[in-house]
Amino acid sequence: MKSVPASCALFVFILVALGTPAAAFSHEYIVEPAFGSVGTAAPDVVPINFLDLNLREMVIIGALALSPSFVFPVEIFFTLKLLACLGFRRIGRRNILASSIRNTLYTTILLQPGISFVELLQEIGLSRGALTYHITLMRISGKIVLLESPGITSYFENSDRYTPGEREVLKYLRQETERRILLTLARNPLMSRRDFEQILGVSGPTVTWHMKRLIDAGLMSHHKEGRFARYALSERTLVYLKKYCEEIPLLPEQHSCA
């Protein structure tokens, strides 16, 4: 025999519960109107002229006349107007730095182009959620831009101060392993993966992973030479390294890898 579903059992229970009071009290009872005193009719609905409504009610009725879907945007509009009356103002590019936190955040990004999210957490001392909030506002207002790659998100001021290639170099110069690779390869062109294994003290696959990031970013190239892969910086990368790295003022001539 099949078991009765729980929903059916619940339905039967409700019917029994509702029917029990009716069976228990079979004597007569009096029904009275829910409004006013017994025998007194409720007042008629008083018509209101459309012009007697306030502005908000007029707009909502107009929105309903056009389409019910317009009511929600209208309510949002009046809510924002209320916030403005209470002293709140819309955050935009002109007043985005009125906040001392965002002002400090922007100054830090300005002075340290390519700084990462983790570095900003350490520099500013905000929680992860608060930092995300302020960065999002600054991005929406067009004050900063970000450069994303697997595992790294870097931030720059939103200006023409840096070219796309320049931003890539600045971003990876702030990553310890990639920085060592770039500076080492600038001094010693056409090094192999085995050379970097010894210099960095890491395994071959780890070297390949870091190299792939730099190659995908267009900062270097590689070619096969027998059983070895040899790497070389792009001419553009070399120019930017000379510009930003005082520790390598005189770099050797870079040979391109066809």
CA dist 60 to 64, 67, 84, 144, 172, Å? Answer: 6, 10, 20, 38, 54
Q: What is the mean pLDDT of the chain?
A: 74
Find out if CATH 1.20.1090.10 is the number for domain 166-244: no
Model confidence at 6, pLDDT cuts 50, 70, 90, reads low
122-146: average pLDDT? 91
Looking at mean pLDDT, say which of 46-55, 68-77, 103-112, 145-154 comes out highest.
103-112
User: Which of the residue ranges 12-16, 35-39, 119-123, 226-230 would you say has the lowest mean pLDDT?
Assistant: 35-39
Q: What is the 3-state secondary structure (H, E, C) of 190-225?
A: CEEHHHHHHHHCCCHHHHHHHHHHHHHCCCEEEEEE
Encoding tokens for residue 178? 């990639």
**Alpha carbons 9 and 249: distance in angstroms, whole number:** 85
How far apart CA 76 and CA 71 sit, in angstroms, is 9
Domain boundaries, the chain: 50-85, 96-160, 166-244
DSSP letter for 188, please.
S
Q: Which of these ranges, 10-19, 70-79, 153-162, has the smallest mean pLDDT?
A: 10-19
pLDDT value for 243: 87
Looking at residue 78, what is its pLDDT? 54
pLDDT value of residue 233 = 92
pLDDT attached to residue 139: 92
Specify the amino acid at residue 18: L
- Quote the pLDDT of residue 73: 62
Average pLDDT over residues 121-143: 91
CATH architecture of 96-160: Orthogonal Bundle (1.10)
In which band, very low, low, confident or very high, does the pLDDT at 253 lie, cut at 50, 70 and 90?
very low
Average pLDDT over residues 72-95: 55
Cα torsion at 154, 157, 161, 165 (round to 10°)? Answer: 20
Has residue 144 got a pLDDT over 90? yes
**pLDDT digit string, tens, across residues 32-74:** 544 444 444 444 445 666 666 666 666 666 766 666 665 556 5
Q: Record the pTM.
A: 0.58
Domain 96-160 shares a fold with domain 166-244 = yes
